[in-house]
Structure 1
Amino acid sequence: MHWRKPRRLLFLCASLDLSACLILAALLDQTRRTDLLGQPRWLIAFALLYLLFGWLFGTYTVLRWPWLRLRLVILRLMITALATMLVVALMDWLFNLPVGLYLSHRSTQTFLLGSLTVWALLVRLGLRWLGRHSPQRDWGLMATPHEAPAILREWQRTPFAVTPRVLTPAGHAFPPGGVVLGSDLRLAPDQEHQLQILGDNGVPITTVIELAERELERLPPALLPADWLSQADIPWSDTFSVQRQLKRVADVVVAVLLLVVCLPVMLLAALLIWLEDRGSVFYVQERSGWMGHTFRLLKLRTMTRADPNAPASWTLPGDCRITRVGQLLRRVRLDELPQLINVLKGDMSLIGPRPERPEFEAELEIHIPHYRKRYWMRPGLSGWAQVCAPYAASLEEAELKLSYDLYYLHNWSTALDLLILIKTIKIILKAGGR
């Protein structure tokens, strides 16, 4: 899976942090006569709490941001340590933890978290240094004059991606680190011969579509040929596949559990919506779903009651139609909870491309190639586009989100769904909704 490779470093860093916590606990047992290793459940819980806050506050994603300033890295690590200490103190205050629990002692926490912060900083600085000084593959791009600017633009708008350099006829004599072939390129016999020589010498040769999947983790629709992908080529096509059946079972089970757990929250949100303007609590809207069939999508109302005859329009950041309660619900995505009913009905899945309003589709189909292919899977509450791209409020942003939807369509798997679920939880905990 393309998306796994860049995240291996994050898992390595988390493993080093966990190992450091256990080593420091053993060191503390030897020097201060504590017995942290004799209380393994509490020690593991403490370490996992530290890792959780580190993940939440972005101390692992800094590995993918080499330009992030040192003081911001230190700040994130300090916030992680402080949050861990505050939660332990809160647990001690609420449940009156036993005196014999060494992790409840302030001096023990200070030593462990202080040492962990120094260790984590050194690990991140070391891994970032290795990343900056490790050899980067120098991709050379062979594409038509019409296609090359579009390819370069897609790489330039994506963080972490190294933009390929366009190969000129004079530059073909110098073998690059790898050659990328544009979709519209038609090779002359001498070019085919030159590429064969490069391939025989071990120079990687790939297509722009394969490289986009690997480096951008999306598939820009403007770069895809007209005949790209048929329904038979997608992992979802086999109706009786184990993964597809598991996805539906997971949808139903998780949706039922979430409805039961979140019912008090939904009732409270509904009350706040009604108290603000005495209007309707729910908002029902036509959306396009599986194979373009429309269905009635349920949401908690977050905007003022609109004129039913008003034309459809994008929701912009800071939109004046969003109510005060609606702003809060949107930030933590609680307005989407009623869509769990749509999941149970089979209109939607938990994970998949977000359903769009039919009023927008005519324009989007005209300007964005391959747009209808996003409906070859059931729409979802969350998706690859939702966790990787900002909320779409323009044609350009809709095209960007479609590139993530097409990647998900082509690479769907249970593991990718789990990654999207984890990233969605992080967005909710950080109140990062729109």
Structure 2
Amino acid sequence: MPWRSPRKLLFLCAGLDLVAMGFAALLLNLLHGPNLLQPSWLVFVVGITYVLFSWLLGGYTLLRWPWLRLRLVIQRLLITGFATLSSLILLGWMLDFDRYSFILLDRIVLLELLGLQTVFALFIRLILRIISRSLSKPVWQLMAAPHHQIDVLREWQRNPFVRPPKLLNPRKLTNSSSLDSPVLRRPFSLAVAHDIDLSDHQRNQIGTLRSQGVVVTTIEDLAQRQLERIPPRLLPEEWLDLSDLPWTNELSFQRKLKRTADVALAMPMLLISMPIFLILSFAIWLEDRGPILYVQKRTGWMGQSFDLFKLRTMRVAGANAATPWTTKGDLRVTNVGAWMRRTRLDELPQLINVLRGEMSLIGPRPEQPRLDDQLAEQIPHYRKRYWMLPGLSGWAQVCGPAYPSTIDESELKLSYDLYYLRNWNLSLDLLILAKTFKTLLKFRGV
């Protein structure tokens, strides 16, 4: 699946970090004696803690920025080391590890260990950056209609991690001698837009390139590989049919598995979150003595509307008041509501929607029917986002704008929803859950 490729480097680096942590512990063992590694599982705990904080604080994200300044790389690694040190000291104090005389958890030893680990981690990342830079990746050449080229380049410019494709004039494929041109002699791959009008001879030339080992694909596939989203304006009108999706069948195993997972996770999550719900409810009522819950009509499966439940984060409006898009710094948001939006705790009551079968834990976020009608008129393929149950979190929520407030941002959000629709599987849902957890811990709800 195309979504896995950008994460291979992350898992490789995380594995090397664990190996480096073990090597650093062995070096300190020579200095402090054999008791340092007793019990041996403590080294693994320290290593996993370091990997977790490196993931949360961008220690692996920087691998996708081979041109990132060295100063910023060192800064992130130092912050990761400090966060790991602080959390382990706090954990040791809470669990009273002093009575066990764990040498590895001594503050000085921990400082030495994480200092060595920071040096090793920097070395690992520099080596991976050098390898990443030295690998010659084929240049993507793109053939698209003139009116389409601006849309294509704009979508790639939104992603700083990838190089935009080079535009290739179809006339370069007209003559067989053009295959030996400087442009085509270099390693390259070819993406063809759906609206390009090619002659039979040009199609034969593309077939010749394919037989010579050149990767030839569609612009949709290229967007999935590089952008991890599918921009709707780059797709043909007849793109994707409802019958192409396996989970539209009520007897589908994938659909039943997803529903089973929703219920199995939502029930304990709702029970565990009840104390938090009660505390937040009291805080909401205490601020302005208004209602605690906010109920709003949203669009669900196949366009059917349902009542969505949220903890109220805005000031009480009149019964017939308009409900425009929420913007950053919106004055309607209460003090308690602003904090809940950052942590997304205002979404907790939607676990009830999940149990009722109106939503899933993972899926496109539901929108207001009034806004849906407006967006469907201006954005192609918009209605297709409701070919799956709406979700509490989704690919667009962890990758795109949290609260889109313009047509352009809504179209960007839809591109992630279409990617999820096209590539859904259990692994992608687990990835979204992990990224949602990371978003919550970093207070990036808005």
Same fold (TM over 0.5): yes
- Mapped to 2, the partners of 1:26 and 1:95 lie a distance apart of 25
After superposition, what is the alpha-carbon deviation per residue over 1:286-314, rounded to whole angstroms, capped at 9, x for unaligned?
00000010000000000001122122311
Secondary structure of 2:236's aligned partner: coil
Secondary structure of 1:147's aligned partner: helix
Query: Contact conserved, 2:247 with 2:255, CA < 8 A, in 1?
Result: yes
Query: Contact conserved, 1:36 with 1:43, CA < 8 A, in 2?
Result: no
Which 4+ stretches in 1 moved above 3 angstroms?
169-172
- Mapped to 2, the partners of 1:265 and 1:389 lie a distance apart of 27
Residue 273, structure 1, aligned to residue 274, structure 2: no
Please provide the CA RMSD for this pair.
1.4
The runs of 5 or more residues in structure 2 that have no matched partner are none
Query: Contact conserved, 1:284 with 1:297, CA < 8 A, in 2?
Result: yes
Residue 339, structure 1, aligned to residue 356, structure 2: no
After superposition, what is the alpha-carbon deviation per residue over 1:335-376, rounded to whole angstroms, capped at 9, x for unaligned?
000000000000000000000000101111111011111001
Shift of 1:136: 2.3
Secondary structure of 2:310's aligned partner: strand
% identical aligned pairs: 52
Shift of 1:239: 2.9
Corresponding residue of 1:138: 139
Which residue identity lines up with residue 273 of structure 2 in the other structure?
A: C
Structural mapping, 1:29-40, within 5 Å: 29-40=29-40
Secondary structure of 1:354's aligned partner: coil
Which residue identity lines up with residue 51 of structure 2 in the other structure?
A: L
Which residue identity lines up with residue 91 of structure 1 in the other structure?
A: L
Corresponding residue of 1:285: 296
Query: Contact conserved, 1:236 with 1:412, CA < 8 A, in 2?
Result: no
Secondary structure of 2:35's aligned partner: coil
Shift of 1:87: 1.4
- Mapped to 1, the partners of 2:164 and 2:250 lie a distance apart of 39
> What is the TM-score when the length of structure 1 is the normalising length?
0.97
Q: Select 2:328's aligned residue among 304, 309, 317.
A: 317
Corresponding residue of 1:259: 270
Q: Select 1:223's aligned residue among 212, 216, 234.
A: 234
Shift of 1:255: 0.8
Corresponding residue of 2:69: 69
After superposition, what is the alpha-carbon deviation per residue over 1:141-167, rounded to whole angstroms, capped at 9, x for unaligned?
111111222111111112212111111
Secondary structure of 1:178's aligned partner: strand
Q: Which moved more, 1:149-158 or 1:294-303?
A: 149-158
Shift of 1:40: 2.5
Corresponding residue of 1:367: 378
Query: Contact conserved, 1:34 with 1:102, CA < 8 A, in 2?
Result: no
Query: Contact conserved, 2:25 with 2:113, CA < 8 A, in 1?
Result: yes
- Mapped to 2, the partners of 1:56 and 1:322 lie a distance apart of 28
Secondary structure of 1:227's aligned partner: coil
Query: Contact conserved, 2:170 with 2:202, CA < 8 A, in 1?
Result: no
Which residue identity lines up with residue 344 of structure 2 in the other structure?
A: R
Query: Contact conserved, 1:304 with 1:323, CA < 8 A, in 2?
Result: yes
Which residue identity lines up with residue 399 of structure 1 in the other structure?
A: E
Q: Select 2:442's aligned residue among 405, 425, 430.
A: 430
Shift of 1:397: 0.4
Corresponding residue of 2:190: 179
Shift of 1:169: 4.7
Q: Which moved more, 1:225-234 or 1:185-194?
A: 185-194
- Mapped to 2, the partners of 1:36 and 1:407 lie a distance apart of 49
Query: Contact conserved, 2:343 with 2:440, CA < 8 A, in 1?
Result: yes
- Mapped to 1, the partners of 2:198 and 2:409 lie a distance apart of 33
Shift of 1:48: 0.9
Q: How many residues align?
A: 434
Secondary structure of 1:179's aligned partner: strand
Query: Contact conserved, 1:302 with 1:329, CA < 8 A, in 2?
Result: yes
Shift of 1:171: 4.1
Corresponding residue of 1:381: 392
- Mapped to 1, the partners of 2:61 and 2:383 lie a distance apart of 33
Residue 349, structure 1, aligned to residue 360, structure 2: yes
Secondary structure of 2:66's aligned partner: coil
After superposition, what is the alpha-carbon deviation per residue over 1:228-261, rounded to whole angstroms, capped at 9, x for unaligned?
1111212423433333222111111111111111
- Mapped to 1, the partners of 2:106 and 2:232 lie a distance apart of 57
Which residue identity lines up with residue 408 of structure 2 in the other structure?
A: E
Q: Which moved more, 1:306-315 or 1:330-339?
A: 306-315
Distance 1:112 1:235, change over 3 A: farther
Secondary structure of 1:4's aligned partner: helix
Q: Which moved more, 1:387-396 or 1:240-249?
A: 240-249
Q: Which moved more, 1:205-214 or 1:241-250?
A: 241-250
Corresponding residue of 1:192: 203
Which residue identity lines up with residue 420 of structure 1 in the other structure?
A: I
Corresponding residue of 2:125: 124
Query: Contact conserved, 2:156 with 2:227, CA < 8 A, in 1?
Result: yes
Query: Contact conserved, 2:143 with 2:170, CA < 8 A, in 1?
Result: no
The runs of 5 or more residues in structure 1 that have no matched partner are none
Query: Contact conserved, 2:89 with 2:105, CA < 8 A, in 1?
Result: yes
Residue 111, structure 1, aligned to residue 112, structure 2: yes
Shift of 1:41: 2.5
Secondary structure of 1:108's aligned partner: helix
- Mapped to 2, the partners of 1:289 and 1:268 lie a distance apart of 30
Secondary structure of 1:149's aligned partner: helix
